Structure 1
Amino acid sequence: MKETAKIFDQIVQERRSVRVYDIEAEFDHEAVQRSIERAILAPNSSNMQLWEFYRIKSEEAKKQVAWMCMNQKAAKTAKELVVIVGRRDLWKKRQRALVQEMKRVYPDPYSKQAKRAMNYYENLIPKYYWSDWFGLWGMIKKCIYFFAGLKRPMIRHGNNADLRISVHKSAALAAQNFMMSMKAEGYDTCPMEGMDSLRIKRFLKLPRKAEVVMVIGCGPGAEGGIYSDRFRVPNSEVILEV
């Protein structure tokens, strides 16, 4: 095993969901900034980066968001709270940025690579992310995928629910990067889904289509912050070979 793998294995093994933080211990808030910057390097669907990260730092803001997280100790005692938000509604802005990036990466517009990239971002991405109020386009896409899939492999997702799941999956990948980074920085984290996402959304003044994915508490773990030994079902039940 390479030395880098040993280090990563140690970080993975040591990362636990810590639910109580030491409010008296010192905390490097720049570690949060560094970890978010590492989080946004996570892989994500079509590199659309449909996410935002809100740092809840002030005592008053933390108190309010902790209340919206059902006053969990992981929220009440955290040095900072990071709210991860899915922004499917920003797809047009991200698409335009990626089109410009593809023009930079492939300066020859007639090359095979440029044509493939531009077709993907200028033609396919709008068809995938655009939606109407009644979801009719999503149903049409499902029908197209079904009939096309009778003869060849075909993606099967395309309605509003599928798009939401795709954005949340990408945000979750970034969240894991963030938590691994915080552990490498010497701090602990706890991802929370037990929250009033509507109230948090209003608190952050987010637009209607933005969605709160999760809230992550972070800080130096306190004694007793890990409630029990780690439990995982046997590897044989979840690691399968074909």
Structure 2
Amino acid sequence: MPEPLFFSAVESRRTVRDFLPDPVPQEVLDRCLDAARLAPSSSNLQPWEFVVIRDPKIRQAANAACLDQMPAKTAPLLIALVTRRDTWRRNRDEILRVFESRGPLRPSQAAYYRKIIPTIYTTGPLGILGPVKRLASRAISLFKPTPNLMAREDLRIMAHKSTALAAATFMLALRAEGYDSCPMEGFDPWRVKALLGLPRGAEVNMFLAVGKRSEKGVWWDRVLMPREWAVREI
């Protein structure tokens, strides 16, 4: 039986550190970005933004902010994947608008997005409500299963997890198209936030260098930890 395309993309995806200068066709990039938009996210709030850097001056500054790593300097395309905690109200309202355009809003939909989501995402001035919500949910948890009602740092972690899912989907879509990527966490977060003009509540999750690998693009053979270290049944 031939190997399914998905598993072929997963197996052949590697972190590529040196790229050919060949540009990434716009139609390929668009397909991969649209695939990334299908990634799962907490409450479907999609707290991400892909910033495709085209301006040569911004690209040069971004390369420097990425510590002049080889992937950043050699890739024909550099993308900043941004976590956007600040868009939850806008995205929540759009979800409700789409639901309502499809027919009457179900009570469960209205309750979740109009009551539960604001309760989770509202942390008050200087985040003062966050610790109170966290303690309250922990106390209730002593008596029945209860989700964490989220302090500011919990929301930050949740948004970054969702954004990382979009990044993984994007990288696998690129590989299925015959292109490669390198996710980079080594960068100056303060400089890139100013460079990209990000508002409060937004921060770069990672940079993605994108293109086709050169002959020296993959530096080492893949090493996987033993399966029993990664998988446990109870």
Query: If the TM-score is normalised by the length of the shorter chain, which range does it land in?
Result: over 0.9
Q: Which moved more, 1:29-38 or 1:220-229?
A: 29-38
Which residue in 1 is equivalent to 2:137?
Answer: 145
Q: Return the offset for 1:106.
A: 4.3
Which runs of 5 or more structure 2 residues have no equivalent in the other structure?
none
Does residue 1:93 correspond to 2:90, yes or no?
yes
For residues 224 and 137 of structure 2, what CA distance do their matches in structure 1 show? 37
Give, in angstroms, the shift of residue 201 of structure 1. 1.2
How many Å apart are 1:32 and its aligned residue?
A: 1.7
**Does residue 1:129 correspond to 2:121, yes or no?**
yes
1:227 paired to 2:219: yes
Q: Which amino acid is 2:27 matched to? A: E
Q: Which range moves more in the overlay, 179-188 or 135-144?
A: 135-144
Amino acid at match of 2:8: Q
User: Which residue does 2:190 correspond to in 1?
Assistant: 198
Structure 1 counterpart of 2:56, which letter?
A: E
Residue matched to 1:18? 16
Tell me what 2:163 maps to.
171
Partner amino acid, structure 2, of 1:59: P
Corresponding residue of 2:52: 55
1:185 deviates by 1.0
Secondary structure at the counterpart of residue 134 of structure 1: helix
For residue 208 of structure 1, report the CA deviation from its aligned partner: 2.0
Shift of 1:26: 4.9
**Which of 108, 127, 152 is the matching residue for 1:116?**
108
Please tell me whether the aligned partners of residues 19 and 217 of structure 2 are also in contact (alpha carbons under 8 angstroms).
yes
Instruction: Look up the match of 1:158.
Output: 150
Alignment of 1:69-84 (within 5 A): 69-84=66-81
Alpha-carbon deviation of 1:193? Answer: 0.3
Q: What one-letter code is carried by the residue in structure 2 that aligns with 1:18?
A: V
Secondary structure in 2 aligned to 1:173?
helix
Report the CA distance shift for 1:142/1:133 in structure 2 as closer, same or farther (over 3 A): same
Aligned partners of 1:39 and 1:174 also within 8 Å: yes
TM-score by length of 2: 0.95
C-alpha contact 2:58 2:195 (8 A) present in aligned 1: no
Which runs of 5 or more structure 1 residues have no equivalent in the other structure? none
Specify the SS of the correspondent of 1:99.
helix
- Aligned residue for 1:9? 7
Rate the CA distance shift 1:143–1:106 in 2: closer, same or farther, 3 A: farther
Structure 2: distance between partners of 1:215 and 1:227: 19
Contact kept, 8 Å, 1:62 with 1:76, in 2: the verdict is no
Q: Partner of 1:216: helix, strand, or coil? A: strand
* Identical amino acids, percent of aligned pairs: 36
2:229 aligns with: 237
